[in-house]
Amino acid sequence: MTTLPSWRDGITRKTIIDFVESVTTGPDAVPVEERIAVFDNDGTLWSEKPLIVQLHYVIGKWADAAKADPSLAERQPYKAAATGDLSWLGAAVDKHYAGDDDDLKVIIGSLTGLTDGVDVDAYAADIGEFFRTARHPVRDVPYSEMVYEPMRELMRYLEANGFTCYIVSGGERDFMRGITESFYGIPAERVVGSAFGLTYDEDSRAVRYTAGLDFFDDGPVKPVRIWSRIGRRPLLACGNSNGDLPMLQFAVGGADGRRGLGLLVHHDDHSGRGDAPYDKGAEKALAADDVTVISVADDWSQVFPAPGA
């Protein structure tokens, strides 16, 4: 069976294979329990353009709220949802990666308001219903067909070499948990992400969400959450944005001489095979000299799964 069949022969594929062989074979092989790989989700494992998938989910909720209370339609993010003009949401994400979180705080506040007091099981069921019917706004296919096939192959290759793979995302943890097994082969207990507050209701014997956000799993918070949830420094990390750079460099390591690999997916393909090309929000990561850049244009022979696969 061909190793990484959707990856073109070249320096990036060779770097990955050489690294895996160096840490899994010979007298200097890293013990299996230390072979940890972590992956960002949006833009790293599946499409995030023109809209992060979770925003697709909540836009419908915000639009419904604006219909029920028309006064909401005069302020963001309800205005974007009610009018269908999503440019404000995209700009808020871009501003976050540039270091300005004012609009992101507005989005997060509106997100937590949707789940306040909701039973975690009811939330999971609602997300499941969303994924049963939702389609990518540009390609008009289910989100299961918007997974990057080369990244799925990379996870299987790592697992075949004794690695345990985790998802570590700025996306909300429980939104991802319902689909990571079927989309990526990663079980729910290996998903680390941003998290709403939780409380236990003794009367109903249910776990419910509170109105706040416990963690926003991005930037320098990612290495902290990796350590708190996994208890090990990853050997390999992969992301696609400035917010992933601390995680990548945590894997690469510092002056201790450890061997680590940081990978950055660069959306630079202009052929229409993948997401629309962009550098915005990844400028700092692309300039880092200790990160291996994966060029979608040059390193991947295909981006999404073959139809019906």
Tens digit of each residue's pLDDT (9 = 90 or more) over 155-190: 999 999 999 999 999 999 999 999 999 999 999 999
Q: pLDDT band at residue 308, thresholds of 50, 70 and 90?
A: low
Residue 141 lies in a domain: no
pTM over 0.95: no
Rounded-to-integer distance, Cα 127 and Cα 77, Å: 20
36 plus 117 within the same structural domain: no
CA dist 88 → 58, 76, 106, 109, 248 (Å):
15, 8, 11, 16, 29
Percent helix, strand and coil across the chain, each rounded to 5?
Answer: 45, 20, 35
Residue 41 lies in a domain: yes
Whether residue 31 is preceded by a cis peptide bond, meaning omega within 30 degrees of 0, is no
- To the nearest whole number, what is the mean pLDDT of the chain? 93
73 plus 31 within the same structural domain: no
175 plus 119 within the same structural domain: no
| Structure tokens, 169 | 């995302």
Query: Domain boundary at 84, 109, 133, which?
Result: 133
CA–centroid distance for 300 within its chain: 19
Residues 216-231: tens digit of each pLDDT: 999 999 999 999 999 9
Print the domain residue range for 16. Answer: 11-49+147-299
Bridge partners (DSSP) listed for residue 265: 294
Amino acid type, 3: T
pLDDT, residue 98, reads: 78
Query: Domain boundary at 133, 164, 180, which?
Result: 133
DSSP string, 158-194: HHHTT-EEEEEEEEEHHHHHHHHHHHHS--GGGEEEE
Residue 79 lies in a domain: yes
pLDDT, residue 85, reads: 82
Instruction: Write down the H helix ranges in the chain.
Output: 11-24, 53-68, 78-83, 87-97, 102-115, 120-133, 149-160, 173-184, 221-230, 245-252, 283-287, 296-299
pLDDT, residue 109, reads: 83
Q: pLDDT band at residue 54, thresholds of 50, 70 and 90?
A: very high
**Order of all β-strands in the sheet with 36-39:** 206-215, 191-201, 164-172, 36-39, 236-239, 261-266, 292-295
Residue 271 lies in a domain: yes
228 plus 241 within the same structural domain: yes
Residue 307 lies in a domain: no
79 plus 186 within the same structural domain: no
Residue 19 lies in a domain: yes
Eight-state DSSP code of residue 44: T
| Structure tokens, 264 | 């950055």
Residue 6 lies in a domain: no
61 plus 178 within the same structural domain: no
Q: pLDDT band at residue 304, thresholds of 50, 70 and 90?
A: very high
Give me the percent of the chain exceeding a pLDDT of 70.
98
Residue 172 lies in a domain: yes
44 plus 62 within the same structural domain: no
Q: Are 191 and 177 in contact (CB under 8 A)?
A: yes
Query: Domain boundary at 133, 166, 192, which?
Result: 133
| Domains identified in the chain, total number | 2
Q: Residue 196 belongs to a domain with what CATH number?
A: 3.40.50.1000
83 plus 204 within the same structural domain: no
The residue count for the chain: 309
180 plus 294 within the same structural domain: yes
28 plus 61 within the same structural domain: no
pLDDT, residue 171, reads: 94
188 plus 282 within the same structural domain: yes
35 plus 179 within the same structural domain: yes
Torsion sign over Cα 92, 151, 283, 252: positive
